[in-house]
Chain A
Amino acid sequence: MMSNEISQSSFQIKVSGDYYTESIISKCVYWLCNKYLVSVSKSNDYFIVDIQKKEDHFSDDEIEKIKSKFYQDLNDYKTREMIREETRSIKDILLVKAFSHGIDTNDKLITQILDNANN
């Protein structure tokens, strides 16, 4: 990921579309929408996140803070996505076990578990 093109009232963050999914970008953007006008577009293999100030102009310090938070969120949501994908099946099993009534939980489970250990 990289950032560029700082102007007075808006700036852009360029994010690799190979590594970060649209879902991850959306989750990061969600938490900026209360303060800024944010749009996301795709150009080749990159997402372009355009962040505009609703009123007034950005200070350099404000831009740095937003970028720092955005990059941190990107990595955290990426990690969460990896956890979610890898544990999807075991989570389903846990929910079934938690809310099943009268089912013998010693029965063999027939749900497939993704084997992602050490991938």
Chain B
Amino acid sequence: MQIINTLQPFSEFRNKESKYYLLPFNFKSFLSDHELLINFSGDFLIVERGTADRIVKREITVDDDIYPDLVSNYFISEKQYPPLLDILATKYRTKKSFLDEFTALHIFVLTLRCNHACKYCQVSSVESRTPDSHDMSIENLDYSISKMFQTPARNITMEFQGGEPLLIFEKLKYAVEQAKTLNEIHKKNISYVLCSNSTLLTDEILEYMEANSILLSTSLDGPELIHNGNRIFQKNDSYQTTISHMKRAKEILGEDRVSALMTTTKLSLSNPEDIIDSYIENGFSSIFFRSINPYGEALTDSIANYSMDEFIQFYKRGLDYIIDLNKRGIFFVEEYAGIILKKILTPFTTGFVDLQSPSGIINGVIVYNYDGYVYASDESRMLAEKGDYHFRLGHVKDDYSSIFYSEKVVNIAKHWANEALAGCSDCCYQIYCGTDPVRNYSTQGDLEGFRPTSDFCNKNMSIIDYLFELMYQDEEVFQIFQNWISKKDN
């Protein structure tokens, strides 16, 4: 028996009356004559300029080519209750999944002392400072670990920072052992991260890290000239020491257990290609272009004194170079773009606290400072080093609720959702972006901030615009970006 499959054209299934209902979406002009439509969960369409207006005025008909795209991508619905409403709600929930567990990243500032005197360092660390007053005491460390275990999050990260935490490696070991012992009761999934300049790493330390699955996050600002120009190592050549210790770390911990962060200074601005090449030479397949944090010493040092527009120019040039490398068959990722692209091109989000709304401070990260005080974020404690305690939430000896649910936190919370901030509430990129009340406060004088002069807004708007432009104008770039996301997820 012959079966003849007679499929009807799509138009047969269309709503003949052109009657549709709007679903929540936003839009912005894109390039000269296009428009970017972004729906409630972050899915996008690039269409002709004026399409949003036509949608609202019900000028789109079932015969328009865009009609099925608008229906299938949840911009409009043919029914008052879209049959797949739950799917759209689930997609939105997935985009906000960083809220599921509350504070996951717990930063322990073990010491303020450091063996470097980096020109952009926010806390002006000095090795010769007295350990008694600049290292975390065992008592405060115990209280801090206890606070960490009170978080409702099941998956937590214990990150050790400084100063240079390897100056007091024995205390770091104590913290890890104590956490492991307590975790026999709490049974959380703990990841350990050591943020170190690597210069004090020894085989003994690396073997301990390997045995306890501690990741290494180190600093590499680029080639020798730039790295040593930024990072003043009192005793030695910072670049050579870092590189040799990093290689050893990769041998013992494994390639994927060592990552590096670069900080952009004036020395970097004209050399993005050299910086990227130095990362490749040292065996990395990604880089994170990080603009300088406008806190503490960084505010006053000339090496850190550049505009956000200069950084954006540097970023775009670097990204162009990275894309060119990928086109030539070299897999290499710019991490900040990767974070944003994951939000744009997948239903998922990331744990990156700087691009979250509600903000990553407190919700995603908390800092236990060397002196026992608890801060809303790493940047908050840097402000405190300059005498501003606005984001000091309490002491590790205080009750959990009096730190995390205090009136101070409630006041911060009034300004930490971009859905409710002037300039952000109508922004098309809201679902991809975030808020940073600490940065608003430190750079603009209040928690709310003012978007027209906000560096945070300028940076993210410019970068997201550029990513969309690159994807739209070059199909190969779109494929490269897709590749970044799928490879990073594997």
Contact = CB atoms under 8 A, between A and B. Distances in A.
A39 interface: no
Contact of A93 (B85, B96, B452): B85
Contacts of A27: 426
Interface of B is mostly: mixed
Interface stretch (A5-13, A14-22, A72-80): A72-80
A116 interface: yes
B88 A94 contact: yes
A84 B52 CA distance: 13
Contacts of B56: 79, 82-83, 86
5 contacts: A76-B52, A90-B23, A98-B89, A117-B58, A118-B19
A113 B89 contact: no
Most buried by B among A32, A79, A93, A113: A79
Interface string B20-34: 111111111100000
B453 A34 contact: yes
A72 B29 contact: yes
B192 interface: no
Contacts of A98: 89-90, 92-93, 96
A30 B40 contact: no
Contact of B80 (A33, A95, A117): A117
B170 interface: no
A105 B85 CA distance: 10
Interface residues of A, number: 33
Contact of B22 (A77, A83, A94, A97): A83
Interface string B190-216: 000000000000000000000000000
Closest 6 A/B residue pairs (Cβ)? A97-B89, A34-B452, A98-B93, A87-B24, A98-B89, A98-B92
Contacts of A93: 85, 89
Contacts of B450: 33-34
Contacts, number: 85
Contact of A31 (B40, B81, B89, B452): B452
A91 interface: yes
B283 interface: no
Given A27-B426, A117-B20, 19 more contacts: A30-B422, A30-B452, A32-B452, A33-B450, A33-B452, A34-B450, A72-B29, A76-B27, A79-B56, A80-B426, A83-B26, A83-B52, A86-B21, A93-B89, A99-B93, A113-B81, A117-B58, A118-B19, A118-B58
A95 B422 CA distance: 21
Interface of B: 19-29, 40, 52-53, 56, 58, 80-81, 85-86, 88-90, 92-93, 96, 422-423, 426, 450-453
A97 B452 contact: no
A91 B27 CA distance: 16
A117 B26 contact: no
Contacts of A31: 423, 451-452
Contacts of A105: 86, 89
B86 A97 contact: yes
Contacts of B58: 117-118
Nearest to B425: A27
A75 B53 contact: yes
Contacts of A95: 89, 92
A35 to B, nearest CB: 8
A104 B40 CA distance: 22
Interface of A: 27, 30-35, 72, 75-77, 79-80, 82-84, 86-87, 90-91, 93-95, 97-99, 105, 109, 113, 115-118
Given A83-B22, A83-B25, A98-B92, A113 B80 contact: yes
Contacts of B89: 93-95, 97-98, 105
A116 B55 CA distance: 13
Contact of A90 (B24, B53, B422, B426): B24
Contact of B24 (A35, A76, A82, A94): A94
Nearest to B450: A34
A111 to B, nearest CB: 10
A77 B426 CA distance: 8
A69 to B, nearest CB: 10
A25 B69 CA distance: 32
A94 B53 contact: no
Most buried by A among B20, B28, B56, B450: B56
B23 A87 contact: yes
Nearest to A34: B452
A56 B25 CA distance: 41
Nearest to A106: B86
A80 B48 CA distance: 17
Given A30-B452, A79-B53, A94-B85, A117 B423 contact: no
A109 B81 contact: yes
Contacts of A94: 24, 40, 85, 88-89, 92
A116 B89 CA distance: 21
Nearest to B422: A30
A62 to B, nearest CB: 17
A79 B422 CA distance: 18
Nearest to A115: B80
Nearest to A75: B53
A116 B28 CA distance: 23
Contacts of B96: 98-99
